[in-house]
Amino acid sequence: MTFTEYLTRNYDNLLELGLEHLNLVLISMGIALVVGLPLGIVAHRNKLLRNPILSTAGFFLTLPSLALFAIFIPVFGIGAPPAVAALSLYALLPIVSNTATGLASVSPAVVKASQGMGMTGYQRLLRVELPLAWPVILTGIRVSTQVVVGIAAIAALVGGPGLGTEIFRGLRSQGNASAPNLVYGGTLGVIVLALLLDAAFVLIRRLTISRGIR
């Protein structure tokens, strides 16, 4: 069976796995954002907590992916949950560190001017600091997403969903004539997904970054 035949026959299977993969990535990124953005803000505002927060986020990115997936198995069992937990932790550092860096790069003059106009701390954060830091934050989210898309393939090894299962299937049926197709299909699927997400980020950039700071 050639690769093209494999693709035409397994089109919907791959699509389904791709959607699973995307779902895994989106959920993990969602969690990472909900946790990471506030942590980044705290790291920016509080000098004492800055280093502990960044080191902890960096710590997770240093751990081997298989180890991070595995450690959640005793807690969540096999399947998607340990994968989501591990991927969220992986995604954390670029988000946290870019949020802190982005906020720190906002011109002090602009911050002072908004303060001088009587914005409260909350208004300043929401209307001035975050919008100005947004390009840097968005870059962090994008880097996280790329990292997570690739690593999510390993979720299959802990019984998780996604395109990694196709690669794993190919690996286990090694020697079998269809094995390479499965591996190519899964790997290519991940790459295509990564490219699509990257394109989405280009679009989000366009749409969400004010012309004044582009």
Partner 1 sequence: MTTTDTLTQADPARSGAKPMIELVGLTKRFPGTAEAAVDGLTLTVDEGEITVLVGPSGCGKTTSMELINRLIEPTSGRILIDGKDMTHTNPDELRRHIGYVIQETGLLPHRTIAQNVGTVPKLLGWDKARIAARVDELLEMVGMDPATYRGRYPKELSGGQRQRVGVARALAADPPVMLMDEPFGAIDPITRERLQNEFLRLQQQVRKTIIFVTHDIDEALKMGDRIAVLRNQSHIAQYDTPENLLTSPADDYVSDFIGTGASLKRLNLSRVRDIEMATDAPTASVSAPVAEVRAALLASSWTSLLLLDAAGRPARWVTSRDLARADQGAVLAEVGLPVEAIVEPHATLADALDELIASNVGCTVVVDGSGAYQGIVDLETIMTVVRTVRDEYERFHLAQKLAQQPADGQAR
Partner 2 sequence: MADTALATRATGASDRAVPRRGGSRLSWFGMPVLLAVILGATYLWVGSLELDTIERRTLNAEQLTRSTLEHLHMTAVSTAIVIVLAIPLGVLLSRPFARPVVPAVLGVANIGQGVPSFGLITIVILWTSLGFWPMIIGLVACSMLPILRNTMVGLEQVDRTAVKASRGMGMSPLQVLLRVELPLAFPVMIAGIRTALIINVGTATLGTFFGQGGLGFIVYNGITLNRTPVLITGVVLVSALALLVDYLAGALGRLLAPRGL
Contacts with partner 1 by CB under 8 A lie at 107, 109-110, 112-120, 123, 128, 131-132, 210-213
Q: Please tell me whether residue 79 binds partner 2 under the rule CB under 8 A.
A: no
Nearer to partner 1, 46 or 176 (CB): 46
Q: Is 166 helix (H, G, I), strand (E, B) or coil?
A: helix
As measured in angstroms, the least distance from the Cβ of 166 to partner 2 is 9
- List Cα–Cα distances, 173 to 168, 176, 178, 181, in angstroms: 9, 6, 8, 11
CB atoms within 10 A of CB 192: 13
The binder of partner 2 chosen from 32, 153, 160, 165 (CB under 8 A): 153
Q: Which residue has the tokens 């502990």?
A: 52
Helix (H, G, I), strand (E, B) or coil at 2: coil
Site residues for partner 2, 186-205, by CB under 8 A, read: 186-187, 190-191, 193-195, 197-198, 202
Helix (H, G, I), strand (E, B) or coil at 37: helix
Question: What is the token pair recorded at 182?
Answer: 């499965």
- Residue of 157, 173, 178, 209 that binds partner 2 (CB under 8 A): 157
Name the segment binding partner 2 (CB under 8 A); options: 1-9, 48-56, 111-119, 124-132: 48-56
Q: How far is the CB of 132 from partner 1 (least distance, A)?
A: 6
List the single partner that 33 binds among partner 2, partner 1, none, CB under 5 to 8 Å by kind.
none
If phi > 0 it is left, if psi is from -120 to 50 it is alpha, else beta; for residue 119 that is beta
User: What are 122's two structure tokens?
Assistant: 């909350």
The candidate with the shortest Cα–Cα distance to 151, out of 81, 86, 73, is 86
CA-to-CA dists, residue 116 to 11, 35, 51, 143, 196, angstroms: 59, 31, 30, 36, 43
* Residue 26 touches partner 2, criterion: CB under 8 A: no
* Interface region with partner 2, contact rule CB under 8 A, candidates 26-34, 73-81, 106-114, 116-124: 73-81
Please, which of residues 86-105 interact with partner 2 by CB under 8 A? 93-94, 97-98, 101
Q: Which CB, 100 or 128, lies closer to partner 1? A: 128
Give the 3-state secondary structure of residue 101: helix
Region of 85 (left: φ > 0; alpha: ψ -120 to 50; beta: rest) is alpha
110 binds, among partner 1, partner 2, none (CB under 5 to 8 A by kind): partner 1
Which parts of this chain interact with partner 2 (CB under 8 A)?
51, 54-55, 58-59, 61-67, 70-71, 73-74, 78, 93-94, 97-98, 101, 136, 139-140, 142-143, 146-147, 149-154, 156-158, 163-164, 167-168, 170-171, 174, 179-180, 183-184, 186-187, 190-191, 193-195, 197-198, 202
